[in-house]
């Protein structure tokens, strides 16, 4: 369970990215966060991920203050950022294997596990390609594959704005749905999108932000 209690986040003395946020999210919830640019969507995800420290209030994960949470061994958080971060001069395999290495997964299983996820996403042909040779779509798919390699307790996806007229819509839509559906009953998912319709069969709750505050929270009463 994630709890935000009277959370505010300020980057300076006059601007609050988040202001007096109160919300509780439980396992199994798939929450879409919408709002205009600057409304606090990304700030909300960064606070939950522990990337930004709150100015006021508390963030609790399973009742533990976020600053005391062990994100390696106790709580597994997956963060899908707008700009994927990779070792650009290393291959797809090396990047995915590194994600297993830092979580102390047995080295003898790395190739099998990487091959399994790449096969599932029809990406085996780019296994030995360097990241800097990939297209934007391929990079996004590899980023998704990296998260698919491990169980997730919390999934945070920043800015999934897909439209049916987009190039590669079908490929990306299928990949995102696999990620959002992974461990669905056991994890909490927040994803940012102003086009929720393409994921409407997965969404259990809708939060809209305005000027850093919650303007509406639809579905919370069903928890």
Domains, the chain, ranges and CATH? Answer: 1-76+152-163+179-223 (3.40.50.300), 77-150 (no CATH)
Token pair 């009742």: residue: 63
CA atoms within 13 A on the CB side of 198: 21
Q: Would you state the pLDDT for residue 32? A: 96
d(CA 220, CA 223): 6
Question: What CA–CA distances, in Å, run from 121 to 8, 32, 54, 144, 178?
Answer: 39, 24, 37, 9, 9
pTM for this structure? 0.91
- What angle (nearest 5°) sits at the alpha carbon of residue 128, between those of residues 173 and 124? 40
| Tens of each residue's pLDDT in the chain, 223 residues | 999 999 999 988 778 999 999 999 999 999 999 999 999 999 999 999 999 999 999 999 999 999 999 887 789 999 999 888 999 999 999 999 999 998 889 999 999 999 999 999 999 999 999 999 999 999 999 999 999 999 999 999 998 888 888 889 999 999 999 999 988 888 999 999 988 889 999 999 999 999 999 999 998 555 4
Question: What CA–CA distances, in Å, run from 105 to 146, 154, 182?
Answer: 14, 20, 20
């Amino acid at each position: 369970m994630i709890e935000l209690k009277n959370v505010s986040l300020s980057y300076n003395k006059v601007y609050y990215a988040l202001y007096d946020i109160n919300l509780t999210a439980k396992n199994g919830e798939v929450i879409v966060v919408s709002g205009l640019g600057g409304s606090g969507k990304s700030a909300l995800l960064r606070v939950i991920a522990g990337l930004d420290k709150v100015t006021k209030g508390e963030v609790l994960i399973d009742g533990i203050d976020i600053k005391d949470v062990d994100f390696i061994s106790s709580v597994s958080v997956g963060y899908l950022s707008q700009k994927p971060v990779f070792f650009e001069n290393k291959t797809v395999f090396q990047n995915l294997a590194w994600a297993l290495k830092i979580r102390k997964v047995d080295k003898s299983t790395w190739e099998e596990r990487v091959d399994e996820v790449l096969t599932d996403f029809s990406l085996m042909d780019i296994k030995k390609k360097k990241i800097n040779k990939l297209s934007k779509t391929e990079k996004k798919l590899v980023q998704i594959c990296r998260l698919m390699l491990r169980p997730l307790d919390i999934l945070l996806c920043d800015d999934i704005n897909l439209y049916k007229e987009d190039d590669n819509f079908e490929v990306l839509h299928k990949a995102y749905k696999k990620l959002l559906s992974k461990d669905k009953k056991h994890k909490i998912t927040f994803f940012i999108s102003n086009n929720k319709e393409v994921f409407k069969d997965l969404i259990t709750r809708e939060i809209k932000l305005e000027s850093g505050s919650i303007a509406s929270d639809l579905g919370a009463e069903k928890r």
